[in-house]
A and B are shown apart, each in its own frame.
Chain A
Amino acid sequence: MTMAPGLRKFVLTAHVTSSVGWLGAVAGFLALAVAGLTARMLRWGEPPYFAGVAAEMDSANLGGLRDELIHAGGGLLVLLVTTTLLVYKPRGMTPYGWRKQQERRKVWHLIPAAPCHHLDYPKYESTSKERNG
């Protein structure tokens, strides 16, 4: 189930664009929530900045905006973590990953070179047993 290099790069571009773009959109959403809250609390500007919108809605929901802060802020935090993981790619295989790798090695030792090693594929991790001989 490995993709051709061209397709792989296309999918990677789509993956980065959608996931980090999501982060940017959440930042925009957060800015709107913060602006709404501060506008209502500080009542800046004369006439109030958001009064036009708020007045016609009869009651602008301030408590709802505070919820938005928590949701959007939490979302932003989660997306920052996922993006950091994306770049750092910290080591660590799941037990399932280990088993799969052992299965694949049986095939790999027949092939002299990895087919797509230039594509930044996950590097082979050796076991402590293998390292110690």
Chain B
Amino acid sequence: MSMTPSLRKFVLTAHVISSVGWLGAVVAYLALAVAALTSQDAQMVRAAWIAMELTGWFVIVPLALASLLIGLVNALGTPWGLFRHYWVLFKLLLTVFATIILLLHMPTVSYFAGVAAETDSANVVGLRGELIHAGGGLLVLLVTATLSVYKPRGMTPYGWRKQHKEFNGDTGLGTGRGSTTGTPRWVKVLGIIALVLVLLIVIMMFTGGGRHGPGRHIPSDDVGSQTPLIAYRVQQP
């Protein structure tokens, strides 16, 4: 499953462009949210929601899916593998997590963009949620970009076994990037940080009235008229 050098470089270029391009698009998205929040101008807020929906569906979502897909091809097509090295595994988990949150969150953006486009009202409170989502996404993507450059040592138990099989003519331990059999400290530290953050997110979701997502923004007496709007906006791209 290894690629020729020229194909490998092409895939790597596509991988860097899709994943770091995703980061850049999130920065642009964040700029729109911050600009709208600080301006407090209704026209500005409405324009920002519409621009954010477009950026989200037409740039951020495609780049996220491309990043995940091309990342898989890049990992499986090179000796790095997908589950062999901790840094690759972390990148996979972070990318999958960020993509899932993105896809779950976009309908909310579409809802507010729909309100901004169809009515005169503009939702300022919802912008704060955008700051959290886009800011969190940016953080995750900065971590994955940093992991890609640093490529910290550390092989998974699966990676060790695979390496032994491939070098079975060799004696004992292989000569890979991981030097000891134990889990590296950076893996433990990053794992604990990730676990704490996930726990915090879950707690925040449940303490926030237990209703998180597009549903909570729809007034209960107005559900009938608002639901088609969401469906329309989601299907539009």
Contact = CB atoms under 8 A, between A and B. Distances in A.
Interface of A: 9, 12-13, 16-17, 20-29, 31-32, 34-35, 45, 47, 49-50, 52-53, 56, 80, 83-84, 86-88
B93 to A, nearest CB: 20
List of 3 A-B pairs having minimum Cβ-Cβ separation, nearest first: A24-B24, A21-B24, A24-B21
Contact of A28 (B13, B29, B50, B145): B29
- The size class of the interface chain B forms with chain A is 35 or more
A32 B54 contact: yes
A24 B46 CA distance: 23
Given A24-B24, A87-B12, A53 B63 contact: no
Contacts of B22: 24
Nearest to A8: B149
Interface in B140-162: 142, 145-146, 148-150
Nearest to B51: A32
Given A23-B17, A24-B22, A35-B58, A12 B117 contact: no
A35 B54 contact: yes
Given A21-B21, A47-B118, A53 B50 contact: yes
Interface string B3-30: 0000001001100110011111111110
Contacts of A12: 149
Contacts of A16: 16, 20, 145, 148-149
Interface centre among A16, A26, A28, A50 (most CB of B within 10 A): A28
Contacts of A26: 24
Contacts of B25: 24-25, 27-28
B120 to A, nearest CB: 8
Contacts of B29: 28
B17 A20 contact: yes
B55 interface: yes
B180 interface: no
Contacts of B145: 13, 16-17
